[in-house]
Structure 1
């Protein structure tokens, strides 16, 4: 007899999934914006846009493999990840912007990379309870469970 994983375990798993897409987009956006010498606002906007794009893309993979058409898979990704990605992006970008000099430190700086890593870790910790709350109510990643094999 198998038992369903606890809500906390499901929330951690969902948040790790979310963190993967967010981290790819966030890091890529920060690197591109910083390398191109963009201002803080443009860099943050790019990072957020890429975090959502990568987050939704990763969420859609198992849904598409399960046979859903692209529009339906996109709807499932929106339903399952929008709140999680939003919370994660709000927290990690607020943290990066709040650290003096982090956005202007440059790609070779420990301050730049340390702040970015710390922001994602803090965002993860603060997003887990949000995902737990959503899953307990049949929302968030609970929407995805029927498509995982």
Structure 2
């Protein structure tokens, strides 16, 4: 039965990915976030495509700015960006750990380091440096805290999910088996859900960006002139929100406590 479920999942994921790849070309979203939605759909299948349609796809011409301005859609873009970038590193770490026969805490460390490194240095800082003044060093400094907190919650949700499924699904640790990719997809999907509240806080306090409308200058001028869109920001504003409640150190502590809990639960599930 499980083989049938996985076959259906992969078939639906392929169709969802094809739909997003074609449809998102006409969506006036940042190219980085377009790639992010493609990656999220590759991880989360029809769930990723559903989130794209519900949270980013322009409902009518000229409405993308207003449509994506609401907080939950901004948070969706922020969380998706995290999971898309970190997920590539985490998957690379899982494959490397399997090839090198790494297990336990060593495997977790490899996945965390590669996931954080790719998400922070490439998907966040390198790809987004233009929105932060063009300086890669400045982008690294501006995105470090947000990436750290979001990554911790992603791993906190992913680790127990993967451990629970691997304990009951044969060959789930073999990258050559479909079960490996199915289990990792489920882990990243749960990690997305767990990381969403932290990304809400990060977006609310201007520590992380959300959706970003990108249009040709002439089109953008016509759209902005024809609409009254209070609260819609056309530029990223990270770290400019004044004092946060709760404080950044408090949220960082919370994120590490969640990560530790995720690690402990995953070890319990693996050995229960």
Aligned equivalent of 1:121, options 183, 189, 199? 189
Aligned equivalent of 1:145, options 236, 242, 261? 236
Contact 2:206 2:237 in 1 (8 A): no
Give the TM-score, by structure 2 length: 0.48
Give the equivalent residue in structure 2 for 1:32.
96
How far, CA to CA, are the matches of 1:48 and 1:106 in structure 2? 19
Give the equivalent residue in structure 2 for 1:54.
118
**Greater fraction helix:** 1
CA RMSD of aligned residues (A): 2.6
Contact 2:126 2:136 in 1 (8 A): no
Give the equivalent residue in structure 2 for 1:85.
151
Q: Which has the higher contact order (CA 8 A, sep 6+)?
A: 1
Contact 2:143 2:208 in 1 (8 A): no
Contact 2:89 2:118 in 1 (8 A): yes
Larger radius of gyration: 2
How far, CA to CA, are the matches of 1:69 and 1:145 in structure 2? 14
Give the TM-score, by structure 1 length: 0.82
Alpha-carbon displacement from aligned partner over 1:4-60 (angstroms, at most 9, x marks no partner) = 611100010011110111110111000011012122322221111011011102111
How far, CA to CA, are the matches of 2:73 and 2:93 in structure 1? 30
Alpha-carbon displacement from aligned partner over 1:92-143 (angstroms, at most 9, x marks no partner) = 123212331668631233332221110001111222222112212333337x
The structure-2 alpha-carbon separation of the partners of 1:113 and 1:62, relative to structure 1 and needing over 3 Å to count, comes to: closer
Give the equivalent residue in structure 1 for 2:198.
130
Aligned equivalent of 1:65, options 126, 130, 138? 130
Matches within 5 A, 1:96-107: 96-99=162-165, 100=167, 105-107=173-175
How far, CA to CA, are the matches of 1:51 and 1:78 in structure 2? 13
How far, CA to CA, are the matches of 2:81 and 2:128 in structure 1? 14
Q: Which moved more, 1:73-82 or 1:133-142?
A: 133-142
Q: Is residue 76 of structure 2 the alignment partner of residue 12 of structure 1?
A: yes
Gaps of 5+ in 2: 1-62, 211-234, 239-272
